[in-house]
Amino acid sequence: MDGKLRELLDISENDFDVVVRITREEDIAIARQMAKQLAQELGFSLADVTKVATAVSELARNIYRYAQTGKIMIRKRLEESGGPTIQVVAADRGPGIESVDRVLARGYTTHERSLGIGLPGVRRLMDFCEIASKVGTGTVVRVEKRRRKF
């Protein structure tokens, strides 16, 4: 887990189409907007564009809420075997998560204005979701969604 976190924290920003730094509350809406735009460019359905934008909104809010600063990196992948894919990495060097299993269970939260449905929701909305975190080092969430064929 430690190696994985380090590897993900060190991912180069240059490999991504868009990098949104999260430092203010307004950046949550900016990250959401960028995700929406990239999903649209990939030809995602309106339903899937909304799911991706909502997932990114949750990830950006978690950064702002728990780590104060961090970044959302988004890229389009056209050559993936499963079809065009949007990949999002949410990285911060904040306090880290004590138990990843616990935050993925519905209803767990350490915040007073939350129902604890953000991260479990993200996992349901996306096709792939991976979380690497260590207390005192930071947290990286990597998610993906493929374009559906109609």
Residues in touch with another protein (CB under 8 A): 25-26, 28-29, 32-33, 36, 46-47, 49-51, 53-54, 57-58, 61, 106, 113-115, 117-118, 120-121, 124-125
Alpha helices by DSSP H, listed for the chain, are 2-9, 26-41, 46-62, 100-103, 118-125
Closer of 52 and 89 to another protein (Cβ): 52
Q: For the CB of residue 71, give the shortest distance to another protein in the complex, in Å.
A: 18
Residue 140: burial class (beta carbons within 10 Å; 0-12, 13-18, 19+): buried
Q: For the CB of residue 23, give the shortest distance to another protein in the complex, in Å.
A: 14
Cα angle vertex 9, ends 19, 62, to 5°? 65
Contact 35, 74 (CB under 8 A): yes
Closer of 116 and 137 to another protein (Cβ): 116
Closer of 8 and 67 to another protein (Cβ): 67
Q: For the CB of residue 42, give the shortest distance to another protein in the complex, in Å.
A: 16
- Which structure tokens are listed for 1? 């887990």
